C-alpha cells in the first residue's frame, strides 16, 4: 500500500513539473518551450477575458472569424504571446483597439512617443517578417507589440507578442526564436 501511494505521489509530482514546459502544434510541426512562470491559456478562455476587457472599454469584440488561435501563453494581461494560423492583420481587433487607444490619448493632448521597425529574422531556418511597435505614454508607462509572420506548409503562421515588462517580453521572444519547425 505504501509503495502504491509513493508511486502515485511521484506520478503526480512528475505530471506537475511536466506541465507547460513545451507546446507542440502538428499543423505547423512546431515546438516551443514555454517560459517559466508563463501559463498556456485555452483560446476560449482568452477570448472571453479579452472580450470582457474590450466591452468595458467600448472596443471591438475579439473573435476567431478572422483567425484561428493556435496557442496563448501569458504571464499576465499585459505580457502575453498568441500564435495564429491564417491571421488577418487588417481585421485584428487587437490592432484596431490599440489604434483607438492611441487616438484617445492623442485627443487629450498627450504625446505618445514610439518607434516602429520592420525586419526579416530567421527562426529555425525559416524567414519571418517581424514588425515591432514601441510606445511610451505620458504617464511613463511603456508597451511593446511584436508581430512575426511566415508562410509555412501553405498556411500563414503569425505570432503576436505584447509586453510592458521587458524581461518577460525577452523571455517570450527568446523562446520563439529557439522554437523548431520540422
Q: What is the pLDDT of residues 137-164, one digit of tens each?
A: 777 888 898 999 999 988 889 999 999 9
Sign of CA pseudo-dihedral 147, 153, 83, 31: negative
The per-residue pLDDT for range 14-47, each reduced to its tens digit, is 444 445 489 999 999 999 999 999 999 887 777 7
For position 105, what pLDDT does the model report?
Answer: 62
Task: Indicate whether 63 pLDDT > 90.
Answer: no
Number of Cβ within 10 Å of residue 20's Cβ equals 16
CA pair distance 38, 54, nearest whole angstrom: 23
Residue with cell 501511494: 5
Amino acid at each position: 500500500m505504501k509503495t502504491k501511494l509513493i508511486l502515485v505521489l511521484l506520478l503526480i509530482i512528475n505530471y506537475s513539473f511536466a506541465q507547460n514546459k513545451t507546446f507542440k502544434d502538428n499543423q505547423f510541426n512546431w515546438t516551443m518551450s514555454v517560459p517559466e512562470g508563463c501559463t498556456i491559456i485555452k483560446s476560449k478562455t482568452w477570448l472571453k477575458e479579452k472580450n470582457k476587457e474590450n466591452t468595458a472599454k467600448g472596443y471591438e469584440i475579439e473573435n476567431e472569424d478572422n483567425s484561428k488561435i493556435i496557442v496563448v501563453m501569458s504571464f499576465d494581461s499585459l505580457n502575453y504571446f498568441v500564435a495564429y494560423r491564417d491571421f488577418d492583420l487588417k481585421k485584428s481587433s487587437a490592432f484596431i483597439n490599440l489604434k483607438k487607444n492611441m487616438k484617445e490619448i492623442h485627443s487629450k493632448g498627450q504625446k505618445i512617443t514610439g518607434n516602429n521597425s520592420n525586419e526579416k529574422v530567421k527562426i529555425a531556418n525559416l524567414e519571418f517578417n517581424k514588425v515591432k511597435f514601441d510606445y511610451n505614454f505620458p504617464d511613463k508607462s511603456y508597451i511593446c507589440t511584436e508581430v512575426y509572420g511566415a508562410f509555412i506548409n501553405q498556411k500563414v503562421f503569425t505570432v503576436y507578442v505584447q509586453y510592458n515588462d521587458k524581461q518577460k517580453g525577452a523571455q517570450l521572444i527568446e523562446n520563439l526564436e529557439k522554437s523548431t519547425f520540422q
